[in-house]
Chain A
Amino acid sequence: MKVTLISIPVLDQEKALKFYTEKLGFIKKKDMPLEGGNRWITLVSKDAQDGPEILLEPAPLHFEPSKVFQDALMSAGIPWTQFDVDSVDTEYERLTKLGVEFSVKPSVMGTFKFAVFNDTVGNNMQIVEMI
């Protein structure tokens, strides 16, 4: 078994695709049409194109419990998942300039530095750096 896919629930696939590629810098790998106007969209990290893919999944639009869970995480400020970066400070500066909103500014916790931002499609996301 291999880990190849990380699913992220999104409220709007097209909006998510734009945000994750244009702002965060991921690269689109697959984009297949599915029933009902849904798509199978996966992205890879620019620096690790062989690595796991992110699936932008429209689950909250079609499965109520998914929406409930996503909303609960959002209001509690809990990130859906996290991405590794070389420098949290640099990414924070870069993303802030692009209009990305952070709920947690770069903070240190022991041997890690992290920050949390809003992905505009229903999730908090964390960036993390090992220090």
Chain B
Amino acid sequence: MTFYEEKIKEIKDSYFSNDKQIETVIGIKRHIDNHYETAINLDTLSQTEFVSKFHLLRLFKKYYGQTPRQYLIDKRIEKSKIFLTNGMSVTETCFAVGFESVGSFSTLFKTRIGKSPSIYQKEQFSRS
């Protein structure tokens, strides 16, 4: 076993040993992956895994390093890039990934990607 494998094992034993908690957060993450376009919030998430929302928030942050909300937004932006590249309009994309306002979607997209959704889309087209 290499030094690296020994260290990984130590971390696993000390930090990732609570199977029940890990199973819960993986369930939450999968729920976000499969339902990112719906109105997801801490209340809906806590119902899917039958845990209190504050416990859920703490667990998710502990095992993924970000809040469920941050993860959900990353997921939506990632999906919107795919939809835009495939030719879906900005408005359709906005609603298809679960945002409720085109204005806030465009602003958020620009903050994350560095350019507006329409410019991003044009660049993808000119590339292919």
Note whether A and B form a binding pair.
Answer: yes
Instruction: Please name all residues of chain B whose beta carbon is closer than 8 Å to the beta carbon of A109 when the two chains form the complex.
Output: 8, 11-12, 16
Instruction: Please name all residues of chain B whose beta carbon is closer than 8 Å to the beta carbon of A79 when the two chains form the complex.
Output: 4
| B26 interface neighbour in A78, A104, A111, Cβ under 8 Å | A111
- Whole-angstrom CA separation of A130 from B8 in the bound complex: 16
How many A-B contacts at CB < 8 Å in the complex? 40
Instruction: Please name all residues of chain A whose beta carbon is closer than 8 Å to the beta carbon of B3 when the two chains form the complex.
Output: 76-78
Question: Are A110 and B15 in contact (CB-based, < 8 A)?
Answer: yes
Question: Are A76 and B4 in contact (CB-based, < 8 A)?
Answer: yes
Interface residues of A in 87-131 (CB under 8 A from B): 103-104, 107, 109-111, 116, 124, 130-131
Closest-CB distance, A125 to chain B (whole angstroms): 12
| B63 interface neighbour in A49, A77, A111, Cβ under 8 Å | A111
Question: Are B25 and A77 in contact (CB-based, < 8 A)?
Answer: no
| A77 interface neighbour in B5, B12, B16, B29, Cβ under 8 Å | B5
Place the interface of chain A in its size category: 10 to 19
Interface flag for B2 (CB, 8 Å): yes
Interface flag for B22 (CB, 8 Å): yes
Interface flag for B54 (CB, 8 Å): no
Question: Are B5 and A49 in contact (CB-based, < 8 A)?
Answer: no
Instruction: Please name all residues of chain A whose beta carbon is closer than 8 Å to the beta carbon of B55 when the two chains form the complex.
Output: none
- Whole-angstrom CA separation of A49 from B113 in the bound complex: 13
Chain A residue at smallest Cβ distance from B19 = A110
Instruction: Please name all residues of chain B whose beta carbon is closer than 8 Å to the beta carbon of A103 when the two chains form the complex.
Output: 2
Additional pairs, 15, CB under 8 Å, beyond known A77-B2, A124-B4: A49-B127, A77-B3, A78-B2, A78-B3, A78-B4, A109-B8, A109-B12, A109-B16, A110-B16, A110-B22, A110-B63, A111-B22, A111-B26, A111-B64, A130-B64
